[in-house]
Amino acid sequence: MSDPTAALYVRLPHAEFDKLDRAAEALRTNKKALVTTLVSHYVDPDSAAGLLRLRAIAAAMPRRVTVDLPEQGMTVGHHAFTPSPRPEVLTPQQAAELLQVTEDEVLALAEAGTLPGRRIGEQWRFSRPALIAWLAGS
């Protein structure tokens, strides 16, 4: 016969863990039995009223983000994302992305002297502000 249970691994904030631990001790039961009973009594995802109650509870909770990192496994928690600063000097590929054209078009315009840029040896480089001004027609 297969196991009728499934594993649940969660990390609780210390305050909530302590409350659960004290409640299980006061009721002389284990945390598994207490959580099972709480879920069976208060979690009803199959009815509109049950989902409404759960949505009200979930709205008051802070949101969590799970990021799956290929080399480091799974990380769970809060994170603030800050975009990296935009480079002031662009490669032809980056200039093409900025202008939303192909790299070949950027290089052709640069070779023709139409697009502001500088050749350094065999490579082209472009100033982001100069490209924006050129695009704006300034």
Mean pLDDT (10-residue bins), the chain, 138 residues: 81 89 92 90 88 85 68 62 86 95 96 96 96 90
Q: How far is CA 77 from CA 16, 17, 56, 61, 115, in A?
A: 16, 17, 22, 13, 45
C-beta of residue 125 within 8 angstroms of C-beta of residue 89: yes
Tokens encoding 94 = 């980056």
Q: Same domain, yes or no, for 71 and 95?
A: no
In a domain, 4, yes or no: no
- Provide the pLDDT for residue 65: 67
Q: Same domain, yes or no, for 66 and 22?
A: yes
Domain count for the chain: 2
Q: How far is CA 80 from CA 47, 58, 64, 77, 86, in A?
A: 35, 20, 11, 10, 18
Residue 79 DSSP symbol: -
Q: Same domain, yes or no, for 62 and 28?
A: yes
Q: Same domain, yes or no, for 42 and 95?
A: no
Residue 62 DSSP symbol: P
C-alpha neighbours within 13 Å on the C-beta side of residue 12: 11
In a domain, 67, yes or no: yes
Tokens encoding 98 = 């900025």
In a domain, 41, yes or no: yes
Q: Taking Cα atoms as reference points, which of 28, 32, 38 lies closest to residue 10?
A: 32
State which residues form the domain around 66.
14-77
Q: What is the model's pTM?
A: 0.43
